[in-house]
Amino acid sequence: NITVKINNTEVTLPAGSTILKAAEKAGFKVPTLCYHPDVHATGSCGICVVKMENGKMVRSCNMKAIDGKSYITHDEDLHRVRRTLLSEILAEHPQDCLVCRRSGSCELQTLAAEFNIRTNTIPRRVQTGPIDRSCAVVMDMKYCIHCLRCVSVCSKQQNVGALELVGKGRDSRIKPVGGGTLADSPCVKCGQCVAHCPVNALKENEAFNPLYAALANKDLYTTVQIAPAVRVSLGEEFGFKIGENVAGKIYAALRRLGFNAIFDTSFGADMTIMEEATELLHRFKNNDNLPLITTCCPSWVVYLERFYQDMIPHFSSCKSPMMMTGLLTKRYYADKKNLDPKKIFNVAIMPCTSKKEEIIRNELAQPDGLEDVDLVLTTRELARMIRQAGIDFANLTPEDPDSLLGEFSGAGLIFGATGGVMEAALRTASVLSGGNLERLEFESIRGLDDIKETKITIDNKEVRIVVTHGLVNVQYVLDKIREAKLNNQETPWHFIEVMACKGGCVSGGGQSYSKEEQVRERRAKGLYHDDEKLALRMSHENPAIKEIYDHFLDAPGSHKAHELLHTYYTA
């Protein structure tokens, strides 16, 4: 440990801690801009400067605190330097705060207000450049402040490297690699660059116009589903604690927005588990294309298709819970309610930008042209809609979702956290294979370790499982499998869960902006906590699922189930 003084307050903290951390511990908030706890601190903006004993100014975000030393975080000199640095950034920034999407959540705007900057003291030199619009992510680099968080998260956490800094000094620009657009680059649309952008330079491709048109069209029957992870993040936009499950208020808000039926993707998660657990048991018994790899994360699917094509046969053929919920709305619910499926408009609220691309994948298109899901909005977009509609979210009385596709088990709920899909599958696979589960919780595959392992027993044989998240971690797993295959050895695992984003969907690229270090743990906790409270905690116990198999799909893995709920992947 080390002991340092921050503005005369003594603090002790682990050796190697930064001055910024020491200040935080001492109760002082040093302003930061380029810093984000998830990414390597570059210190590029300089706003976090502090003074050492000799008066020298250093950047506190990436400078280690030295044992026995004293630091000043706030005085007139520091205030002046920070203000000048901010003014320089503002001189190059559009300053159209009145109409900017990030107004209210922009870190630059917040700092300008905190520093009471009311006029431009430095000649304006606003950047220009084209807007690059992919189906999921939009880049508008005139807003860019060169913090490099996007470049860092894309290369270090996601291992994609779709963005690079081109040029030098004031004329440098962040661009998609290869000189083309984002769509031409290796980008997998995970939206982590968006979630880490402090300003309006990177954002989701908003889908409000078609949605408002659909809601206003009285010929259409509009349905909406919310993903598991949305409920433990949306509340943050309205003053609730991180991880607080506000599902009941979300259902109530969606009803007030005018949707005809409110469903839950956790229902589809239960359905996915029925199919995927059956697929696992089948493949395991026949030693066929093991390991089985989960495919509900669309960025992960694209990443594997692009960089590990030899692994495609290992993919689960199950559609994602979002697509299953959408499909069963039009193919089962419509029939039950006597609705024309062509007049149903399915919306999905997702913690993810990549889901906007998933719904337009060719192989998911139906021969009769009926889309499973018509439109995807992120958690952040839903928050904007709720505000635009004047809904008093914080004071709404919680409501229930609609039957039938609003019914789910705890297993369907925990999908939103890394390890959750696997835990849900293991609960059901164990029971379906005649096993006995003493505990429903698989603690060893919960939490934020990069690689998590467990095993279960099926037919007296060990089924080995691995879970990973954050694309940078999949290389280790996939390389081990390749190596085993090359040497004709049994692969180290039989079943693999991968989520592209660190922490899983709770920290997806469409979730509320957050710089809180514990954000992933707190949101995941919200899901696990609610799983424990539910009476039904295994997918096969969900009565809605039973009804649909009994009346429509025959049985898990049936011909009909395959025709509707499964897909295929090609290199």
Q: Active-site residue numbers?
A: 276, 279, 296, 316, 355, 358, 363, 505
Collapsing DSSP states into helix, strand and coil, what is residue 135?
coil
User: Which residue number, 187 or 538, has a Cβ lying nearer to ligand SF4?
Assistant: 187
Q: Which residues have C-beta within 8 Å of that of residue 413, sequence separation ≥ 6? A: 228, 266, 269, 527, 530, 531, 534
Which residues lie below 8 Å from residue 246, measured CB to CB, with a gap of 6+? 231, 232, 234, 235, 238, 240, 398
Q: Does 321 bind ligand HC1 (CB under 6 A)?
A: yes
Residues that bind ligand SF4 (CB under 6 A): 137, 153-154, 158, 160, 162-163, 187-193
Contact call for residue 320 and ligand HC1 (CB under 6 A): yes
Indicate whether 401 belongs to the interface with ligand HC1 (CB under 6 A). Answer: no
302 lies in the binding site for ligand HC1 (CB under 6 A): no
Among 47, 153, 188, 269, binds ligand HC1 (CB under 6 A): 269
Question: Which of ligand HC1, ligand SF4, none sits in contact with 301, Cβ below 5 to 8 A by type?
Answer: none
- Cα 47 to Cα 82, 84, 298: the distances in Å are 5, 9, 37
Is 498 a binding residue for ligand HC1 by CB under 6 A? The answer is: no
Q: Which 412-441 positions form the footprint of ligand HC1 (CB under 6 A)?
A: 415-416, 421
Exactly one of 350, 477, 481, 496 binds ligand HC1 (CB under 6 A); which one? 350
Nearer to ligand SF4 among residue 190 and residue 322 (C-beta)? 190
Find the angle CA(407)-CA(301)-CA(234) to the nearest 5 degrees.
Answer: 45
Type and span of the H or E element at 99: none
Window of 8-16, 21-29, 164-172, 345-353 that interacts with ligand HC1 by CB under 6 A: 345-353
**Interface with ligand HC1 (CB under 6 A), residue from 46, 176, 235, 351:** 351
Sign of the dihedral defined by the CA atoms of residues 497, 503, 506, 507, in that order: negative
Q: By CB under 6 A, tell whether 359 contacts ligand HC1.
A: no
| Identity at 204, one-letter amino acid code | E
Residue 31 within binding range of ligand HC1, rule CB under 6 A? no
Phi and psi of 272, rounded to 5°? Answer: -60, -40
Strand pairing partners for 455? 464
Contacts of ligand HC1 in 189-228 (CB under 6 A)? 227-228
Q: In angstroms, what CA-CA distances link 341 with 183, 263, 334, 372, 377?
A: 32, 16, 6, 10, 21
How many angstroms separate the Cα of 99 from the Cα of each of 126, 326, 563?
17, 34, 47
Beta bridge partners of 10: 5
CB of 418 to ligand SF4, least distance (A): 17
> Of 269 and 386, which CB lies nearer to ligand HC1 in the complex structure?
269
Contacting residue, 198, 243, 291, 504, with ligand HC1 by CB under 6 A: 504
Among 225, 247, 227, 226, CA closest to 235: 247
Interface with ligand HC1 (CB under 6 A): 227-229, 265-266, 268-269, 296-297, 320-322, 350-352, 355, 415-416, 421, 504-505, 508
